[in-house]
Structures are given as C-alpha cells and as structure tokens.
Amino acid sequence: MTAPSSSAAVIVRDALRAMPVEAVVDSALLREALPAVRVLGPAALSYVSSVGFRPVETDELTVEQLPPGHPDLQSLEQAAGHEDAGEAALDEITSPAFVVRERDRVVAAAGYRPWPRRTAHIGVLTAPKARGRGLARVTGSAAVAHALAVGLLPQWRARTHASRRVATALGFEELGSQLSIEIA
C-alpha cells in the first residue's frame, strides 16, 4: 500500500489498522473505513516480456500512429463515454497513439505512459459500436511492441473481463491487483 504523503499515510494506517489483510482489497469496506472521494478498481495488474508477448499480425487492418493528444483521440473518448475513456486514460499517454480508423474516424486506439521502474502503463480504448472485433488486440499489440522496443516493461491494468481477455491474448500474465482510493 502506498500513500502520496506522510499525512495521508497516517489517515490510511489509522483507518485500516483493525482490518484483516484480505479486507484491504474490498472497495466497499474501504469506502466505509476511509474518507474516500473516489475509488478506482479493483483491477488486475498484468505484465508481459518480449519472450511472452504474442503480437497480433493482420493484413486486413492498417494501424496508424497519431501524436498524443490528437483531436481524433478526443473524438474517440467522447464516443466511448466518460467512464471508459477515464479507464483507458488515453489523454495521459506520452507514446504515439496506435489507431485503427473506419470511414476516417478513429474507432480504436492504444498507447502508454511511462511509470516508475521503466514500466509502460498501457491504455486501450475501442468505440462502443466497434467492440468485439479484435480491434483492442490489434492496437494494444502495436503499443506493447513499441514499449518493448524502447526497453520498457508493459503493464496492463484490467477491470473488466473483456480487457483481461485482451491482455491474456497478448501474452500478459496477471501478477497482482490494484485498488486506488482518493481520500479527502
């Protein structure tokens, strides 16, 4: 468990001192114990090395690169909705965005931002009407390949079963879980 400051660590430590260890991943119990403003998760954390990576090859789709913050990514986020866009966090990527277009509109995108210890936190988003066709695997594969090529360890944070399936298809292994709580 980490906290952003000493004062936040005291709040968390005091609130959780009496809780059993297995309870600290229960978001409902944590909401009761802490002055939570926002809870993100729980989510599975998965990682892949160049040895375990299973890239997606396709001749049917063209994956294009866009700079982070490109207006076409913002259009995709609007189409996907606030919750899904927030989960993917494409507005925070610093890598190129790897995108698939249909009729000149970006319908799927993936990218990453560097985290500590040379970790590449992968974000993937597919427009609701384009889901279920493997586009997350295609764009996610391109982002993972790019991260590995620059010496980063790709990390996939998955809250939904569909996202976990995509990560598994790309060779990611679940090694932990994450629950983030913003306290007042």
Residue closest to 123 by CA, chosen among 101, 100, 156: 156
Q: How many domains does the chain have?
A: 2
- Same-domain status, 27 and 53: no
Model pLDDT, residue 105: 96
- Same-domain status, 44 and 29: no
- Same-domain status, 76 and 162: yes
Residue closest to 137 by CA, chosen among 106, 161, 110: 110
pLDDT, one tens digit per residue, over 122-160 is: 999 999 999 999 999 999 999 999 999 999 999 999 988
- Same-domain status, 27 and 90: no
Is 184 contained in some domain?
no
Indicate if the pLDDT at residue 2 is higher than 80: no
- Same-domain status, 85 and 10: no
More confident residue, 44 or 178: 44
Q: Mean pLDDT score of the chain, rounded to an integer?
A: 91
Is 25 contained in some domain?
yes
- Same-domain status, 5 and 53: no
**Pairing between strand 119-126 and 153-158?**
parallel
CA 60 to chain centre: 26
Q: How far is CA 135 from CA 1, 64, 91, 105, in A?
A: 34, 13, 19, 14
Round to the nearest angstrom and report the end-to-end CA distance of the chain.
17
Residue 103's region, left for phi above 0, alpha for psi from -120 to 50, else beta, is left
Residue 151's region, left for phi above 0, alpha for psi from -120 to 50, else beta, is left
Per mean pLDDT, which range of 14-18, 35-39, 127-131 is the poorest?
35-39
- Same-domain status, 78 and 137: yes
- Same-domain status, 44 and 18: no
- For the entire predicted model, the pTM comes to 0.83
Q: How far is CA 109 from CA 31, 45, 50, 145, in A?
A: 33, 20, 21, 14
